[in-house]
């Protein structure tokens, strides 16, 4: 790959893909990632590279990475880029068709159950080796850009909080057109408020799960269930977290509750099956151990006249 031959077009206008950060990354995350890349491409880190490879790394940094960082680190350009992404997501939804993607990561993301956690995990996975091989940078950035495309498409469709806000805004505009008061907008409905609150709990839990901090992820969902005890999705998700944390009994309890609310919950069914299988194996092992113990006990009670019991181990009945 030669950086000056088509590298800085199409996907490379996707600044998040170039830097290997999620679309939601804040300025602190962007800066940390930029410094990591800059160190990796610095001549001191390429001591074993050829002159051509060092020159290529320098061009990638100056012509590709630096412009992306400048665009995302400056408030004005970052805001403009965010609006462009938002409009792109809305355009994707209006087409009514999922974006055509070729990378395996993007195709998996199209059908992933937890879009936010799956998206961040996929981006982090690609970013970890994004600049390991300079000749593969174009391919990796292209895959990251496809992930961003799928995320925009799916998050625009499933973001219940945004939908609630949009509904509230529509109602506000309609009310203002009919009333002289600017404060007469109808408040969000209880259902919309519940969706927004649950989304916040689930999103935080997904972040903790991504970092394998299952205890804190579990706490988030337990708080959600305190407020909304009949939300099957939370019970189902909580059962998977308990399973990952090695707490089979709690996983079974919440999987059962999720299936009571929604008998077709596939995630809860899967958790229940795994817990039942694990319990069956443990029960079988316990029975086998009990049988062995019983056999040993019977042997220990053997007849002394026939050299049995402990005396029998030493050559017969004690005189």
Query: In angstroms, what CA-CA distances link 54 with 41, 51, 194, 213, 216?
Result: 8, 5, 54, 39, 44
Token pair, residue 185, equals: 């907008």
Question: Is residue 301, in this structure, part of any structural domain at all?
Answer: no
Start-end of H helices in 96-136: 104-110, 115-127
Q: Which helix (H) or strand (E) holds 298?
A: helix 266-300
Residues 25 and 120 in one domain: yes
- From the list 232, 99, 71, the residue with the least C-alpha distance to 155 is 99
Question: Is residue 76, in this structure, part of any structural domain at all?
Answer: yes
- From the list 102, 100, 97, the residue with the least C-alpha distance to 143 is 102
Residues 109 and 204 in one domain: no
Distance between terminal CA atoms of the chain?
A: 92
Question: Is residue 289, in this structure, part of any structural domain at all?
Answer: no
Q: What is the CATH number of the domain that holds 213?
A: 1.25.40.10
Token pair, residue 264, equals: 């077709």
Q: Domain containing 143: what range? A: 10-158
Question: Is residue 128, in this structure, part of any structural domain at all?
Answer: yes
Start-end of H helices in the chain: 15-19, 27-41, 51-60, 66-73, 75-95, 104-110, 115-127, 137-158, 160-178, 190-210, 214-227, 232-244, 248-261, 266-300, 309-312
Residues 6+ apart with CB under 8 A from 58: 41, 43
Residues 6+ apart with CB under 8 A from 40: 131
- 267/109 Cα distance (integer angstroms): 17
Q: What is the pTM of this model?
A: 0.50
pLDDT given for residue 186 in this prediction = 53
Residue carrying the six token digits 């220990």: 300
Residues 71 and 117 in one domain: yes
Give tens-digit pLDDT for 200-231: 788 888 888 888 888 888 988 898 888 888 99
Question: Is residue 38, in this structure, part of any structural domain at all?
Answer: yes
**Strand, helix or coil at 26?**
coil
Q: How does pLDDT run along the chain (319 residues), one tens digit per residue?
A: 334 333 434 456 789 999 999 998 989 999 999 999 999 988 888 777 788 888 899 999 999 999 999 999 988 888 888 788 877 777 777 777 888 889 999 999 999 988 899 999 999 999 999 998 888 898 999 999 999 999 988 886 554 444 444 444 444 444 444 544 444 445 556 676 777 788 878 888 888 888 888 888 898 889 888 888 899 989 999 999 999 999 999 999 999 999 999 999 999 999 999 998 887 665 565 566 566 666 665 655 554 444 444 333 334 444 4
Residue carrying the six token digits 């956690």: 117
């Amino acid at each position: 790959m030669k950086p000056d031959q088509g590298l800085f077009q199409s996907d490379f206008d996707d600044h998040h893909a170039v830097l290997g950060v999620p679309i939601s990354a804040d300025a602190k995350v962007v800066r940390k990632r930029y410094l990591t890349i800059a160190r990796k491409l610095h001549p001191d880190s390429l001591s074993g590279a050829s002159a051509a490879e060092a020159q290529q790394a320098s061009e990638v940094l100056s012509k590709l990475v630096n412009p992306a960082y400048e665009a995302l680190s400056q408030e004005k350009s970052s805001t403009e880029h965010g609006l462009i992404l938002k409009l792109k997501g809305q355009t994707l939804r209006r087409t009514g068709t999922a974006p055509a993607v070729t990378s395996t990561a993007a195709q998996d993301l199209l059908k992933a159950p937890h879009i936010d956690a799956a998206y961040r995990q996929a981006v982090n996975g690609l970013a970890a080796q994004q600049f390991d091989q300079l000749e593969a940078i174009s391919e990796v950035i292209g895959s990251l850009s496809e992930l961003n495309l799928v995320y925009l498409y799916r998050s625009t469709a499933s973001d219940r909080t945004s939908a609630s806000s949009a509904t509230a805004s529509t109602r506000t505009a309609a009310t203002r057109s009919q009333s002289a008061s600017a404060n007469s907008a109808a408040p969000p409905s209880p259902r919309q408020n519940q969706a927004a609150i649950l989304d916040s709990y689930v999103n935080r839990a997904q972040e903790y799960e991504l970092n394998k901090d299952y205890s804190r992820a579990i706490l988030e969902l337990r708080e959600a269930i305190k407020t909304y005890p009949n939300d099957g999705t939370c019970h189902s998700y909580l059962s998977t977290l308990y399973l990952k944390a090695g707490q089979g009994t709690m996983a079974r309890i919440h999987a059962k509750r999720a299936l009571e609310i929604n008998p077709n919950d596939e995630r809860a069914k899967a958790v229940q099956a795994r817990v039942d299988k694990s319990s069956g194996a443990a029960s079988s092992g316990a029975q086998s151990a009990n049988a062995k113990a019983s056999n040993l006990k019977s042997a220990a009670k053997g007849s002394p006249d026939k050299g049995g019991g402990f005396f029998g181990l030493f050559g017969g009945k004690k005189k």
